[in-house]
Amino acid sequence: MMRAALLALLALAAPGALAQAKPQAPTEEATIQRFRAHAKPRKVTPAAPLGAEERNTIRRFREAKPSVVFVSAIAPVQDMQTLDITKVPTARGTGFVWDEWGHVVTNHHIITVEEGGKRLGEVKEVEVTLSNGKAYKGRVIGTSFAYDIAVLQVFAPLEAMPPIPLGRSKTLQVGQTVLAIGNPFGLDHSLSCGVISAKNREIDTGYNTRILNALQTDAAVNPGNSGGPLLDSGGRLVGMNTAIIATKGEGSVGVGFAIPVDTLNDIVPQLIARAALQPPRMGFEALASAAAQQQFGITHGLLVIKVDPDSPAGRAGMRALELDDKGKIKQFGDILLGYQGRVIENEGQLMAMLEVEPPADEVIFDVQRGDQEIKLTLDLRKKDSPPAKKKAGPLPSI
């Protein structure tokens, strides 16, 4: 009896006893306030020494940075209400200092004005921002449609523009480390690293021509990187970043292309010396595609507006647009539809084809003359005297 009563009493007392033994859990607010008291800067873990590859990358970026510039193409824009003309940036990209005379190399498409997917022309003026943050005026002094190259003369102190060291692209090997410097999305002097993924690629220029022997790299290249330098691990220029493979809605997928430096070293001096690559002179001028469509409704081909009689075009009988004193059409000019069996889409495309494959003897144009389509053969073997130099105008002269 005594034992049973004692067990009953213990059973009755257990709930209260257990409740006293179990501590009450703190509230969330109490926990927060308690841990606030421990707020203080953390102790920094000592850094491990940088690896040789990291040290080299940092060094090469610092050495190359003063030679890499930010390029803004400037074009006049007219306000349709006030008719005031202001200069505004139309495109932005990267460039690099080529030599000690203030020449900067970039991509031609950066200084190209387009609207609705159609090429309207080129800007003549650019703004170039150096690595020190100072901006200077520049002018486009040389262009190549076929190779997507433009050369700028920058009016900045020459001592502030060190040329980038030059390398060779012919000797590059797949797997070799490369560094890309540029201004992706307007973020100045960004560095990305990768390797040469492939050589001897062909890439489109937008003028229905292809750049040969292009370098493929997996170094991150995005909009704004165009015209920037591709360097080897020694900090030497081995290419100019030019194009990417992009998917709709995703942008870059990590495949970039660069014009090889061996091509640059061949083309750039010619552009500095002569403003353009010099295909054989044919002796005609054509109206810019955008103007031809706006004024005459021509959507395909080039409208000939001037022919030099003492030239291959003149001797072949090419016809130019003729207007009377009141501006009315007396004779409609030939419309050049094709060149050497290929369709002519615009004047830039024709110039690009002439740069890539300069003809030696004769060329054949497919021509619309009135309601007929004919072929005109221009004999380029006879050397005629070039016309007197004149001020540059909006019309392409070939």
Catalytic residue from among 103, 109, 192, 308: 109
- What is the separation, in whole angstroms, between the first and last Cα of the chain? 125
Q: Which residues of 347-377 are buried (b: 16+ CB within 10 A; e: fewer)?
A: bbbbbbbbbbeebeeebebbbbbeeeeeebe
Catalytic residue from among 72, 144, 148, 190: 148
Using DSSP's 3-state secondary structure scheme, residue 187 falls into: coil
Phi-psi region of 197 (alpha: psi -120 to 50; beta: other; left: phi over 0): alpha
The C-alpha atoms of residue 121 and residue 31 are separated, in whole angstroms, by: 67
The C-alpha atoms of residue 181 and residue 190 are separated, in whole angstroms, by: 6
Strands (E), 149-223: 149-154, 177-182, 190-204, 210-217
Is 190 labeled as catalytic in the residue annotation? no
Is 109 labeled as catalytic in the residue annotation? yes
DSSP code string of 269-311:
HHHHHHSB--PPP--EEE--HHHHHHHH---SSEEEEEE-SSS
Residue type, 17: A
What 186-189 contacts at long range (C-beta under 8 Å, 24+ apart), as own/partner pairs, is: 186/92, 186/224, 187/224, 188/70, 188/129, 189/65, 189/68, 189/131
DSSP code string of 258-280:
EEEHHHHHHHHHHHHHHSB--PP
Kindly give the pairing relationship between strand 190-204 and strand 210-217. Answer: antiparallel
Catalytic residue from among 197, 226, 289, 311: 226
Nearest 5°: phi and psi at 313? -65, -40
Residue among 191, 192, 95 at smallest CA distance from 149: 95
Residue type, 375: K
The C-alpha atoms of residue 218 and residue 238 are separated, in whole angstroms, by: 15
Is 289 labeled as catalytic in the residue annotation? no
Residue among 239, 275, 240 at smallest CA distance from 143: 275
User: Which residues are designated catalytic?
Assistant: 109, 148, 226
